[in-house]
């Protein structure tokens, strides 16, 4: 079901990485994370702050895979744990922005060029929506 996402994540591993790089891969829902787990070699499981982290290698690169849960707060907390506990210096999110555009369908791949706070509305202060 999540083959497109899995293919994209694996394709991202052909991109250059930092010399001593650890890549964090975050899925909002368990089904997104479960699709990757069989691909991780030398897998170890570690719990931090009631989160389960799967540590190992994917396509020869050091990875830590985890589920964040839905929403910005969960994504921010999980990202902080990845950086502080595992030294992650690159991130791949899968499934985080699924509801941000009604034209998107499940399994669509989105590569961002910028970010906005889509749930913030400062238009009353003459600011564009999302800033």
Q: What CATH number is associated with residue 106? A: 3.40.50.1580
Q: Does the pLDDT of residue 36 top 70, yes or no? A: yes
Question: For residue range 49-104, what is the model confidence (pLDDT) as tens digits?
Answer: 999 999 999 989 999 999 998 888 898 999 999 999 999 999 988 865 556 677 87
Q: What total number of domains does the chain contain?
A: 1
Q: Which of 80, 82, 89, 26 is nearest to 61 (CA)?
A: 89
Give a yes or no: residue 60 inside a domain.
Answer: yes
Q: Which residues pair with 55 in a beta bridge?
A: 44, 64
Q: Which is higher by pLDDT, 17 or 90?
A: 90
Give a yes or no: residue 88 inside a domain.
Answer: yes
Rounded alpha-carbon distances, angstroms, from residue 102 to 99, 105, 106 = 7, 8, 11
pLDDT range class, residue 12, cuts 50, 70, 90? low
- For 113, the domain range is 3-125
Give a yes or no: residue 130 inside a domain.
Answer: no
Q: Which is higher by pLDDT, 120 or 13?
A: 120
Q: What is the pTM of this model?
A: 0.70
């Amino acid at each position: 079901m999540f083959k497109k996402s899995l293919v994209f994540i694996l394709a991202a591993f052909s991109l250059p990485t930092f010399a001593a790089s650890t890549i964090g891969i975050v899925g909002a829902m368990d089904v997104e994370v479960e699709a990757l787990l069989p691909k991780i070699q030398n897998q170890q499981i570690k719990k931090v702050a009631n989160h389960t982290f799967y540590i190992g290698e994917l396509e020869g690169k050091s990875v830590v895979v985890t589920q964040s849960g839905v929403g910005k707060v969960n994504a921010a907390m999980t990202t902080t744990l990845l950086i502080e506990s595992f030294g992650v210096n690159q991130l791949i999110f899968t499934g985080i922005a699924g509801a941000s555009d009604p034209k998107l369908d499940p399994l669509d791949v989105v590569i961002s060029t910028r970010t906005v706070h889509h749930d913030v509305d400062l238009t009353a202060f003459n600011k564009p929506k999302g800033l």
